[in-house]
Amino acid sequence: MKTATERKTNVLDTGRHQTAHTVIRLDPGKLTEAEKSFSEGFAKSVIGQPEAEKVARMAYNAINNPLRDRTRPAGIYFLIGPSRTGKSLTAKTLARLFHGSQDALTRLQGGDYREDAQVLDLKGAPPMYTGYKDPTDQEKQPAPEDIDPTSVISTHNLKRARKGSQTEVDIIVIDEFEKSALEFYKLWMGVFDTAFLRLGNGQEVDFSNAIFILTSNLGMHELEKMARGPIGFSTGKKEIDRQDVASVVASAMARAYPPEFRNRLDAVVLFQPLQGAEKRRIVSREVELLQERIDKQLGAEAFGIEVTESAAATIMTRAEESGKGVAEIKRLLNLVLVEPLGRELQRGTINGGDLVSISVESGELSYCVIKGGRLVARSTETYNGTYITGSFDRRLERARQIADLMAAEGRAPQRYILRLSGAELKELEQLGTSLVADLESSFGLPVEMTALDRLEAPAFKAVFRATGELLDLIREKYPELSFKMVQ
């Protein structure tokens, strides 16, 4: 596609004289730099949900578009999916990007409005009822930092929820929207249609700058049943693909809501269960956030942290074994990082500029401090969404330092067998010789034994001992190798 910078001049004959006009070819699909930045900031927090990233761009564009229709809210998005896949995090991330705080939003629970009387409470007391406050009585108006008791969605409370931000955007989350009463649904249908709501005290609330996030579990029970298969006919779980999810959710939406509601939605987003690589990225992101907190709170006394791939995988496995999945990651990181490192700070074993490396030894997390290590590798990088610290050579140097520390303490690292295959026998012998030389010289790992299997599928094998950090680096450098832990 041609870019907007390509130009040509047209000469138009107006009858009396010719007029020259400059014509610019537009590329309206190209993202602006601000839009890219907003989208990238969103994707760093909400991982593995590309459809949600599109919603973030839609919300950003709507708020900043001078041509948008202001007789309706800026955005109405219906998010459907299993628990702990990022639906609530989507709203928090939008709040952080717009207002600087993930708490700068208004949250309602659909289940709190199952009765018509509860919906009336949401609108606030009308004149002559207990709790009524005259919105024109300036002496009785709450201070900017105080809560307005008339209604959680009053103009005062919506502005207060922005946490002091001057950006005129209201993030309103309604969790489990399908659990609410019919009157609750009708109330918001009116808002979605006109962007205004008259409260019980007569005050009109303007929702034209509101972004609504409606979350739901519609169809999830049916998908769980589908995955289990029919009783008596299935011996294992059925693989549920994206098409299955879309079909089930579309049917559930059609049963639950009429077309006039569905047509008011700007997007319906299906949140998919996270895969292994995406879960590890979540661990990396949480570690990055912890590093930012350390830098902010400790200042000149801040130290660095790095979590090896094996340690991140161990944390993720423990989270999954708890049955709580992603939601357990923060609690685990507090348990295995925040608490023990805080204790070491109090002991004085960690100082400003140090680097704490967390790896895995014999199935357990292992902690080592590289004195002054962060002063050398101060900056952190993101590569393809994965949080890493420093270059390969720098990480290898640190890993060898940790291995030397273990040796000085008389601790032997884990023994492994590596296997290399997929080549002819002579080539395998040459590759194996080169590999052993690299393990011993670059990685500092004495190889205890080598063998060349001369069977139908030849393979080179080597036995060596390595720390978790060194094994991670060997895997990174030689992805074609397979490894097996041995006693």
Q: How many CB atoms lie within 10 A of CB 389?
A: 24
Burial 195-204 (b: 16+ CB within 10 A, else e): bebebbbebe
Looking up residue 229, the CATH number of its domain turns out to be 3.40.50.300
Residue 79 lies in a domain: yes
Helix (H) or strand (E) holding 79: strand 75-80
Spatial contact of 160 and 166, defined as CB atoms under 8 Å apart: no
Residue 28 lies in a domain: no
β-strand pairing of 380-383 with 364-370: unpaired
Whether residues 83 and 173 share a domain: the answer is yes
Whether residues 195 and 329 share a domain: the answer is no
Residue 3 lies in a domain: no
Chain-centroid distance, C-alpha 190: 33
Whether residues 422 and 281 share a domain: the answer is no
Residue entry with tokens 């909400």: 46
Q: Write out the chain's pLDDT in tens, 487 residues.
A: 444 555 555 555 555 666 678 899 898 888 889 999 999 999 989 988 999 999 999 999 999 999 999 999 999 999 998 877 889 999 999 999 999 999 999 999 999 999 988 988 898 877 666 666 766 666 677 888 899 888 999 999 999 999 999 999 999 999 999 999 999 999 999 999 999 999 988 889 999 999 999 999 888 888 777 766 544 334 455 566 667 777 888 888 899 899 999 999 999 999 887 777 788 888 888 888 899 899 999 988 899 998 888 888 888 888 878 766 677 888 888 999 999 999 999 999 999 989 898 888 878 898 988 888 775 444 344 333 334 445 788 788 878 888 888 888 888 888 999 999 988 888 999 999 999 999 999 999 999 999 998 877 889 999 999 988 899 899 989 999 999 988 7
- The Cα–Cα gap between 175 and 336 comes to 31
Whether residues 177 and 65 share a domain: the answer is yes
Q: How many residues would you count in the chain? A: 487
Q: How many CA atoms lie within 13 A of 349 on its CB side?
A: 11
pLDDT at 170: 98
- The Cα–Cα gap between 150 and 140 comes to 12
pLDDT at 7: 53
pLDDT at 90: 95
240, 270, 300 - which closes a domain: 270
390, 422, 448 - which closes a domain: 390
End-to-end CA distance of the chain: 60
Whether residues 151 and 295 share a domain: the answer is no
SS3 252: helix
Spatial contact of 416 and 463, defined as CB atoms under 8 Å apart: yes
Whether residues 123 and 177 share a domain: the answer is yes
Using alpha carbons, select from 214, 126, 111, 130 the residue that is nearest to residue 171. 214
Whether residues 355 and 471 share a domain: the answer is no
Looking up residue 447, the CATH number of its domain turns out to be 3.30.70.260
Global pTM value: 0.72
Residue 4 lies in a domain: no
Supply the Cα-derived Rg of the chain in whole angstroms.
Answer: 29
Whether residues 318 and 383 share a domain: the answer is yes
Whether residues 430 and 360 share a domain: the answer is no
Whether residues 260 and 280 share a domain: the answer is no
**Sequence-ordered list of residues with C-beta below 8 angstroms from that of 7, at least 6 positions apart, any chain:** 22, 23, 24, 25
87 forms beta bridges with none
- The Cα–Cα gap between 106 and 102 comes to 11
Residue 181 lies in a domain: yes
**Sequence-ordered list of residues with C-beta below 8 angstroms from that of 446, at least 6 positions apart, any chain:** 440, 464, 465
Residue 356 lies in a domain: yes
270, 289, 312 - which closes a domain: 270
Helix (H) or strand (E) holding 335: none
What is the residue range of 283's domain? 276-390
Structural domains in the chain (count): 3
Q: How many helices (H) and strands (E) does the chain have?
A: 17, 18
Whether residues 111 and 155 share a domain: the answer is yes
Whether residues 364 and 460 share a domain: the answer is no
- The Cα–Cα gap between 207 and 62 comes to 13
Residue 322 lies in a domain: yes
pLDDT at 227: 65
In 170-261, the DSSP E strands lie at 170-175, 196-198, 204-206, 210-216
Residue 23 lies in a domain: no
SS3 382: strand
Looking up residue 325, the CATH number of its domain turns out to be 1.10.8.60
Q: Taking each helix axis from N to C terminus, what angle separates 392-408 and 468-477, rounded to the nearest 10 degrees?
A: 150
- The Cα–Cα gap between 324 and 318 comes to 10
User: In a 10 Å sphere around its CB, with 0-12 CB exposed, 13-18 middle and 19+ buried, how is residue 59 labelled?
Assistant: buried
pLDDT at 230: 47
Spatial contact of 431 and 416, defined as CB atoms under 8 Å apart: no
**Sequence-ordered list of residues with C-beta below 8 angstroms from that of 484, at least 6 positions apart, any chain:** 416, 417, 419
Torsions phi, psi of 153, nearest 5? -110, 25
